[in-house]
Amino acid sequence: MNDPFSIGPRLSGEFVGRDAELADAWSCIENVGDSLVIVSELPNGRTSLLRRIEAMLRERGRRVAFMDALRLPQDITPAALWHKLEGRLDLDLSRSYSDGLARPAPVFLLDDFHELLSRQQMRTPEFLGMLRSLASMRVLKFVSTSAADLVTLGRQLGEAWGSPFLNTYREQRLGPLGSRDVEYVLALAGDQLSDCDRAFIARCAGGQPKLLNLLASGHLRVNRAALPGTPATVRHQQTLHLLRNELGHLFRGFWARLASDERWCLLQVCAGHACRSTVPGSELLDRPGDPALAFDHQRAAAVSRCFQSLPRIVLKRAVAEVLGEDAVPQLPSDMQTDAVFAVETESFCGGGCASPPCSPACAGREQSATTSCARCRALATRSRRRRQRRWRARSSGWPTAGSFSRACRRRAGRSARAR
């Protein structure tokens, strides 16, 4: 059985989606003198997009050079890089300023630009100034990918040299794929994935290409190893376990970099927006003044839901209200929250239905998941509203309806035992 979902250094197959990003990149190459940086915090299809741009340029007969910063020697110098670039592009930089515009400018495609700038010998004013000058004079088009955004890169370079070398760069952030593109990718598996499996994978992936491929490939492996008649919920949980092993380190690494007050602040913000969270605020925080606040799956899921439902500017303001106006809060990236949301939040139908399954449709692979999804959503909504009311009552100091009912049951039990 063929597995069409694979991730590796060698990318093959049909390129799907990213029409708007391709149009923006082509507009930058053709009409604008600025350089373009494609930003995605973690591998999320940025290399595939850069390779697609390379193929489009070669189809049109343009001079193009593709380089991967991770494959360049660690001790490479700016002179060696320029020498390699001149050989690939048939470019003479000594004559480029005078007659370089006689034909379309060549395009330099660099994967993992942030990795190149992390090397001390490449962070020189001469190299960065040359890139800026060639791009601004339309002698050399520069398109790159980066795991760090322009603000982060500019801050690092500004601290070193005090010059905004990246002020001519445009930033393009890779968002999730559309629902039609996700359906098209999952359709490549044919009858190896049922409708319930596809709905589960699409819901967990959230349009992120890397998560989509990892989930689909992992689920195909689980299906092949599963015994006949294995419920869909069991197979989905096994797929999530495989994904947790692949991506569980993302949020854990972010959490480890935060100070104790920053952790407390983030959890307070999430507790303040508990209506969007999967757990109430009282379960997020251990006890006031506890400096540990260790990594916890409930906390990861709650923080991820909060970050997905609220705009970044709102979160930054909320964090600043707790830590102070001068604080610069560290927020996890979109990819980190998406990955944690998929890995740690197990309240969606098909993969997160409580055991036993909420309905036969969830357990039957051959049946559609539409009915079970509706029931799961209704149950989750009622449960969330109950937790929401309890959290609000605890925050206001009033006893909850649940506490009244529990007290009544305890009194009734004591009365029955006394009789």
163 and 281 inside one domain: no
pLDDT score, position 266:
66
| Residue 216 vs residues 136, 157, 159, 179, 240: alpha-carbon distances, Å | 43, 40, 43, 15, 11
Residue at 48 is within a domain: yes
Residue at 188 is within a domain: no
141 and 284 inside one domain: no
Number of domains making up the chain? 2
Domain end position, chosen among 119, 146, 173: 173
Residue at 204 is within a domain: no
Q: What is the pTM of this model?
A: 0.60
Specify the CATH number for the domain of residue 132: 3.40.50.300
Range of the domain at 282: 259-329
169 and 263 inside one domain: no
Domain end position, chosen among 173, 205, 223: 173
Residue at 191 is within a domain: no
| Residue 109 vs residues 12, 116, 167, 296, 406: alpha-carbon distances, Å | 19, 13, 19, 41, 65
List the structure tokens of 358: 């909420």
Residue at 27 is within a domain: yes
List the structure tokens of 332: 């996890």
167 and 42 inside one domain: yes
146 and 267 inside one domain: no
282 and 163 inside one domain: no
26 and 134 inside one domain: yes
State how far the Cα of 323 lies from the Cα of 265, in Å rounded to an integer.
7
298 and 162 inside one domain: no
Residue at 105 is within a domain: yes
24 and 133 inside one domain: yes
147 and 275 inside one domain: no
For the chain, 419 residues long, give each residue's pLDDT as a single digit of tens: 455 565 544 445 567 778 888 888 888 888 766 788 998 766 677 888 899 899 999 998 888 999 999 888 888 888 888 888 887 877 665 555 555 556 778 889 999 888 888 888 888 888 888 888 877 777 788 899 988 888 878 877 776 555 677 877 888 888 778 888 888 888 888 888 888 888 888 877 777 787 788 888 888 888 888 888 888 888 888 887 777 666 655 556 556 656 666 666 666 666 655 444 333 344 444 444 444 555 555 666 566 556 555 555 666 666 666 555 555 555 555 444 444 444 444 433 333 333 333 333 333 333 333 334 455 555 556 655 665 565 555 544 444 444 444 555 555 566 555 55
277 and 152 inside one domain: no
Query: Hey, how many other C-beta atoms are within 10 angstroms of the C-beta on 151?
Result: 11
State how far the Cα of 40 lies from the Cα of 210, in Å rounded to an integer.
11
Residue at 181 is within a domain: no
- 10 Å CB burial of residue 220 (0-12, 13-18, 19+) is buried
Residue at 40 is within a domain: yes
pLDDT score, position 187:
86
33 and 142 inside one domain: yes
pLDDT score, position 109:
92
Domain end position, chosen among 329, 349, 379: 329
